[in-house]
Structure 1
Amino acid sequence: MNVTDRRAVRTAARTLVAPAALAVLATTVPQAAAHTELDTTSPAVRAALAGLPPRVTLSFSDAMTQKYSKVAVTGPDGASAAAGDPQVEGKTVSLPLDTGSPAGRYTVGYRVVSADGHPVSGSYTFTIKETGSPSPSPRAARSADATPRQPESGQAGGGSWDAGGTMLIGAGVLAVAVAAAGGFVARRRRAGRGH
């Protein structure tokens, strides 16, 4: 093997290292991108209730830490409706409420950290009707207490990566890099032979 061929091989090897590293990184991203998400809320997002429930309960996809779980419920008058501190039980965070709070729109804000260190924050609203307002049917009230999540703002996380799709992208990048390196080596050989 002459000097030109050795240089071509070294250059091709250097050219392949970066795409190969990117392909490996691309296949590991799905695990890192799987963030904790809010699964359900009680009361439900945008629920209309006859009275303030004794607590707000938020259920997440991962276990939470007590130390970093913050939940606040603000009433229509801007005052806190909380009657204690947030309590964590596994994947659930609950906050006791003052059931004597006035009717109107309530905002639930939360910022929690899962056991694996992922922060999640957001907010949503629900409404307590005036006592003279017609109340929802028992079936509607039950469904309003455990509706799947759709927070209005600040939801952490986002779309999850499909591992198969990511591996295909990584394989495509690697194939392009190999083809480019092969073309480079072939040109160098032709140039070294004087063609």
Structure 2
Amino acid sequence: MNVIDRRAVSTLARTLVIPAALAALAVTAPQAAAHTELDTSSPGANATLAGLPPRVTLTFSDAMTQKYAKVAVTAPDGKSATTGEPQVAGNAVTLALNTESSSGRYTVGYRVVSADGHPVSGSYTFTVKATDSPSPSPRETRSASAPTEKPEADKAGEESSGLGVTMLIGAGVLTVAVAAAGGLGARRRRAGHGQ
């Protein structure tokens, strides 16, 4: 009878404890990002500038690869306004511009691939006013799809508290499963001894 009790406890452990532990791990594991997105751009989309800035900088939600970073800036006359190739530094892709280009509407087009293989493409425009009309300086804008950023300290606090809560929930589920398995095993042993 004692052998049957061990088998029952072992079966119960496999059916309750292992799935509970896997569920706890799934809850506490970081969520994978679905897609890489453009977070910020400088100059920003629809910006109006007094002069052409020395570079365009695009910042993405994931690290980029140098090999597959393609960025083009087209001047109002349809010609390229760039001087060189895009440079990648982590999440940022930078492209130098010919600051002597004329005023008018510029188009920034990009097709990049993140380090984990997600392709991202898109375009936007900004305008450079003639030098005799005053205008705001270049500004950085967020992509329309990007949420408002919180200070790093707030994000770190939220991430750590969220992780702490999910770890506590996972530990609670695991504790209940182990207690249930132990209680069932003790009950079966008592039943086998006639108590």
Fold-level similarity (TM above 0.5):
yes
Structure 2 regions of 5+ residues with no counterpart?
A: 148-154
Taking structure 1 as reference, are residues 186 and 78 closer, same or farther at Cα in structure 2, changes over 3 Å only? farther
Structure 1 regions of 5+ residues with no counterpart?
A: none
Q: Which residue of 1 aligns with 2:105?
A: 104
Q: Which residue of 1 aligns with 2:124?
A: 125
Deviations 1:60-111 (A, max 9, x none): 6776432132333456788765443212345542113355366236344342
CA contact (8 A) 2:6 2:185 kept: no
Alpha-carbon distance in structure 1 between the residues aligned to 2:80 and 2:127: 15
Deviations 1:131-167 (A, max 9, x none): 3894324xxx15x1xx3x6223589xxx995422331
CA contact (8 A) 2:65 2:113 kept: yes
Q: Which residue of 2 aligns with 1:152?
A: 144
Q: Which residue of 1 aligns with 2:86?
A: 86
Alpha-carbon distance in structure 2 between the residues aligned to 1:120 and 1:104: 26
Q: What is the DSSP-based 3-state SS (H/G/I as helix, E as strand, rest coil) of the residue aligned with 2:164?
A: helix
With normalisation by structure 2, the TM-score equals 0.62
The size of the alignment, in residue pairs, is 181
Q: Which residue of 1 aligns with 2:150?
A: none
The aligned amino acid for 1:14 is: R
Q: Which moved more, 1:184-193 or 1:97-106?
A: 184-193
Alpha-carbon distance in structure 2 between the residues aligned to 1:186 and 1:76: 82
Q: What is the DSSP-based 3-state SS (H/G/I as helix, E as strand, rest coil) of the residue aligned with 2:51?
A: coil
Deviation at 1:9, TM superposition (A): 1.0
Q: Which residue of 2 aligns with 1:163?
A: 163
With normalisation by structure 1, the TM-score equals 0.62
CA contact (8 A) 2:70 2:111 kept: yes
2:11 is the alignment partner of 1:19: no
Deviation at 1:178, TM superposition (A): 3.2
CA contact (8 A) 2:48 2:127 kept: yes
Deviation at 1:128, TM superposition (A): 0.4
